[in-house]
Structure 1
Amino acid sequence: MKKRVGQYLMDCLSNVGVDKVFGVPGDFNLTFLDDIISRNDLEWVGNTNELNASYAADGYARLKGIAAMVTTFGVGELSAVNGIAGSYAERVPVIQITGAPTRAVEQAGKYVHHSLGEGHFDDYRNMYDSITTAQAYITPENAQSEIPRVINAALFEKRPVHIHLPIDVANTEIEVTASFELAEHQHMDVSKYMQMIVGKLQSAEQPVIITGHEINSFGLHEALEKFVTQTHIPVAQLSLGKGAFNEESPYYMGVYDGALADKAIRDYVDQSDAILNIGAKLTDSATAGYSYQFDIDDVVMINHHNFKMNETKDNDVSLVDLLAGLNKLNYVNHTDFPKYKRPSAHDYDLNDDPLTQETYFKMMQDFIKDEDVIIAEQGTSFFGAYDLALNQHNKFIGQPLWGSIGYTLPATLGTQLADPKRRNLLLIGDGSLQLTVQAISTMIREEIKPVIFVINNDGYTVERKIHGENEMYNDIQMWDYKLLPTVFGGKDEVCTHDVNTSEEFQKVLLQVETQPDRMHFIEVKMDVHDAPRKLNAIGQAFAKQNG
């Protein structure tokens, strides 16, 4: 069957579950966009800029499993780099498609617009080498091999890929000989590693599992919980990857964040003689500046392409195979461990005093429903939210490794479009909001209904806690935030709310509950120096780390 290369590419993406394509039009992708909007199985979601498109695609992929976005050559391509790098760091599979000048223009070395005016066209593709797991320059001759190759790479590695698609290639008809099929996973024998692990566990008196974001990326929640339920080994999760383990499990201890962890959890993990690190990275922000007290060389690393135990290393083995191997172990733990204590409901007073961060998050805990998606911006919101107790079916999204402020607003556009039936709660600060605020416009146009909580504390509080508490570079221009939905054309579609006290906040939360069919924008005013306890401590750790 004859199809244009652009049509074939969209067929492949549709086959792996993509039903929304994010991006910004440009003259090097316009006719390719015609192939997108003409379909019944795909929807084009135009964004206000390419950075927002990349963040939205990342959010979509975290719920859907894979995402796609389209930019134009050069100016659009580079505007998406920050978001794609974040997807690479945190293992999120995004297909970044760049509509490029024709092959004839490139071969002639013409000084075409959006180029550097030097007559060569691979500069931007080279920039993507380090932030994508695979790259492809598509031609009519290689389309049916290269497109499946990079899509498979994205899915197997859970990382973004880059596709360079000259516009004349996108419009060229080819004879399609076979529809795209996901390649089969090639299983590796991990039995020798399992023998080593079971030997360590059998001699251990205090085993523990630390888990994190790779479980979320690879969707291995059931496999991990099965292993834990069989072996009775307790689990502590990192803030980088919150939601990796069922927080309602009797084997869950809580969040381990180094010196900031509750004493019982901290002592148990730090004194463990058998730490299995499953799908986690011990980063500075996840461990309060590497404040763990165990020897990192004694930890059994069970990550994707990273198995390490003592002197044995394997950088090829997959996390999927390692976890499958763990589920065949014959071992049961009999050591007692600290049990997770879920927070008490209504553990706060309602009054007309200024609302504090502490009360805000306690009230948010009561507000969360079983199926909610919670998206927490890197800053006061994330460091307050990662201690929230989740239900088994909640989804928690943050970006603590890449840590690009402004990420979560467009990411919420993506997560809500990925599953419109689930309620999305965005927790964000005013400084972050100002970076990507145009995403609200796209939300209104797409008629989605997230609940957006904006902490107005007059600036970059997360930076204040690291350095320059009162310096002007951590200040921002005050906006009239509640007018933003009107500015973006949503005066009649969006409910806006103003909160100064816990009494006002409670009334707003009740109103949100009674109007689930509306988008809500809630401005929550707090003191400029008020911050979650853990952000204060993390700020000090970062300041010390930075010298």
Structure 2
Amino acid sequence: MYTVADYLLDRLKELGIDDIFGVPGDYNLKFLDQITARKDLKWIGNANELNAAYMADGYARTNGLSAFVTTFGVGELSAINGLAGSYAENVPVIEIVGSPTTKVQEAKKLVHHTLGDGDFMHFEKMHDEITAAVAHLTIENALTEIDRVLQVALTQKRPVYLNLPIDVAESEATKPVHALIKASREEDFSDLLKTISEHLQRSVSPIVIAGHELLSWQLEQPLAAFIQKFNLPITSLPLGKSAFNEEDPHYLGTYSGSTTAEPLKNRVDSADFILLLGAKLTDSATSGFSFGFSEQQMISIGCDEVSLFGTKEKGIQLDQFLPTLMNLSYEGYSGELLPMIHAAREEEINDTLTQKTLWSSIESFLIPGDIVAAEQGTSFFGMTNVALKKDMFFIGQPLWGSIGYTFPAVIGSQLAKPANRHILFIGDGSLQLTVQELGTAIREKITPIIFVLNNNGYTVEREIHGEQEPYNDIPMWDYQHLPFVFGGTNDSVATYKVRTVNDLNEALIAARKETEKLQWIEVILDQKDAPELLKKLAKIFAKQNS
């Protein structure tokens, strides 16, 4: 018999999902049987539901869409933080929650994983604020609701929620007759294009700022075509890094407000016309809102909001809009482009390894096609000004900023894009939150290069407040040997402990060469050392929090 569960899984497969993440629970076990019985889908079991949500987020960032499964109540609440991060940063993740049978719910029985009050809607309601669509599936509405919710994920690039009772999953259904076509609203962009054309024509020093929404809609190619046709200078926010090829001469570097190096800072702040595309001027992306330009200089085009020199309008469908920029009435920019400033190779004084020598070495280490994830700590701020190579993709979470996120996320992304080499930079404090998925990585035989930055605690927090306070301390682990605790062997994992520049160089050469093993590199750094950008930003955040 063809069931609702079959229908849902067929739709997921149709949309390009090959792997489904999650944790088993008695309310979803029969649905998991449907997944594991298929040859075209793979079940990836996680250590906990939060990690499953993080892993699904990373998978969706490079694949375009993902799905994970939890059980009712305890499972979905464990995952809710990860889902909120996907909502904040426009990542389309489908959460499927296995719930008690319709009869149990209608009878308001006091079953386990509930609050003991007979109300089965508490947790579904909690998801209203952090998803773009919620559906409680019934035998009558299941097929239409599945299609509706999946279309929302596709068009809005945000997470969605499906409550799937046991009996509904097993009920009879009909196979999809038509492909799931992405629903989109018809929009007339002529007035907006005319306005942009007029201001570009009058502009002497225009600039384009790219943001993360372009990555969510996978609009890197239309963006590149637009920039090339009109010879425009472009920068990106840290929340949007890799939206444009950083080796291209039109790219001026990463703009992060007052902490941006000159001459890029002045070039952006003094521009007479700024076109923001898919960008949000958040505090972490602009060093505490310290950007030096005003709304009167800019037009901002986003999925949630369009701002025309300070006048706010509803957002637009970015994937429809961006290609129409090729139709602008504009001859192109004829001014000078600033050369991008690359991280200078630091002098190796006494072979001491510092944050500066680390990140300057990493810039030389990266190659085209790498997918890099940087945890929201010293790693993200160290990577912000590292120039990426062509066809690289960058994963960070500077808006939501949930520490520990990138470890599961990079595993999810590696599963989505196994042909690309994945490289993760994560601090010791963040790693301790989600390290359980190291066992998943070893079990799935994936081979990322993972740098564990061991600087004995929460460096970001130390820089902001409480440098010597015990709440910024963490237990010291034997990081180099962790892979062997989680099931690794000398045949599946190569480990390194790096203390000096020479150690680092040797590890980089070996890790790049060895592609058949997971590469695990513990990097010992001084507790008080931090990237210069982080030091500046920490002072701004400390003032902002006072």
**Shared fold by TM > 0.5?**
yes
**CA–CA separation in structure 2 for the residues paired with 1:462 and 1:343:** 22
TM-score, length-scaled by structure 1: 0.97
Contact residue 28 and residue 99 of structure 1 kept, 8 A: yes
Match of 1:447 in 2: 445
Match of 1:161 in 2: 160
Q: Secondary structure at the match of 2:113?
A: coil
Q: Secondary structure at the match of 2:60?
A: helix
In the TM superposition, 1:380-459 aligns within 5 A as: 380-459=378-457
Q: Secondary structure at the match of 1:246?
A: coil
CA RMSD of superposed structures (Å): 1.4
1:5-41 CA distance string (max 9 Å, x none)? 1111000000000000000000000000000001111
Relative to structure 1, the CA distance from residue 144 to residue 463 in structure 2 (aligned partners, 3 Å threshold; closer, same or farther) is same
In the TM superposition, 1:22-421 aligns within 5 A as: 22-176=21-175, 178-310=177-309, 312-331=311-330, 332-343=332-343, 347-350=345-348, 353-421=351-419
Is 1:536 paired with 2:535? yes
**CA–CA separation in structure 2 for the residues paired with 1:487 and 1:180:** 46
Structure 2's unaligned 5+ residue stretches are none
**CA–CA separation in structure 2 for the residues paired with 1:177 and 1:79:** 33
Is 1:6 paired with 2:5? yes
1:348 positional shift: 3.6
**CA–CA separation in structure 2 for the residues paired with 1:80 and 1:466:** 28
Relative to structure 1, the CA distance from residue 251 to residue 419 in structure 2 (aligned partners, 3 Å threshold; closer, same or farther) is same
Q: Secondary structure at the match of 1:254?
A: strand
Contact residue 454 and residue 525 of structure 2 kept, 8 A: yes
1:111-132 CA distance string (max 9 Å, x none)? 1100000100111011110110
**CA–CA separation in structure 1 for the residues paired with 2:186 and 2:76:** 36
1:353-381 CA distance string (max 9 Å, x none)? 43101001111111112111111000000
1:343 positional shift: 4.2
Amino acid at match of 2:533: K
Contact residue 268 and residue 337 of structure 1 kept, 8 A: no
1:392 positional shift: 1.7
Contact residue 352 and residue 503 of structure 1 kept, 8 A: no
Which residue of 484, 489, 492 maps to 1:491?
Answer: 489
**CA–CA separation in structure 2 for the residues paired with 1:514 and 1:246:** 25
**CA–CA separation in structure 2 for the residues paired with 1:313 and 1:356:** 45
Contact residue 405 and residue 434 of structure 2 kept, 8 A: yes
**CA–CA separation in structure 2 for the residues paired with 1:54 and 1:177:** 27
Query: Which segment is superposed worse, 383-392 or 179-188?
Result: 179-188
Q: Secondary structure at the match of 2:300?
A: strand
1:320 positional shift: 2.2
Relative to structure 1, the CA distance from residue 9 to residue 208 in structure 2 (aligned partners, 3 Å threshold; closer, same or farther) is same
Q: Secondary structure at the match of 1:3?
A: coil
1:157-203 CA distance string (max 9 Å, x none)? 11100000001111111233525422353431110111111112222
1:299-341 CA distance string (max 9 Å, x none)? 2111113222146543152122331332100211223242213
1:298 positional shift: 3.7
Contact residue 429 and residue 457 of structure 2 kept, 8 A: yes
Amino acid at match of 2:416: A
**CA–CA separation in structure 2 for the residues paired with 1:64 and 1:505:** 32
1:401-449 CA distance string (max 9 Å, x none)? 0000000100011011011121111100000000001010110111111
Query: Which segment is superposed worse, 484-493 or 107-116?
Result: 484-493
1:350 positional shift: 4.9
Amino acid at match of 1:141: E
**CA–CA separation in structure 1 for the residues paired with 2:273 and 2:348:** 45
**CA–CA separation in structure 2 for the residues paired with 1:125 and 1:180:** 28
**CA–CA separation in structure 2 for the residues paired with 1:313 and 1:441:** 48
Aligned length: 544
**CA–CA separation in structure 1 for the residues paired with 2:47 and 2:277:** 38
**CA–CA separation in structure 2 for the residues paired with 1:14 and 1:53:** 19
Q: Secondary structure at the match of 2:67?
A: strand
Contact residue 249 and residue 337 of structure 2 kept, 8 A: no
1:28-75 CA distance string (max 9 Å, x none)? 000000000011110000000000000000000011000000000000
In the TM superposition, 1:499-514 aligns within 5 A as: 499-514=498-513
Q: Secondary structure at the match of 1:438?
A: helix
Relative to structure 1, the CA distance from residue 27 to residue 264 in structure 2 (aligned partners, 3 Å threshold; closer, same or farther) is same
Structure 1's unaligned 5+ residue stretches are none
Q: Secondary structure at the match of 2:521?
A: strand
Contact residue 372 and residue 422 of structure 1 kept, 8 A: yes
1:352 positional shift: 5.4
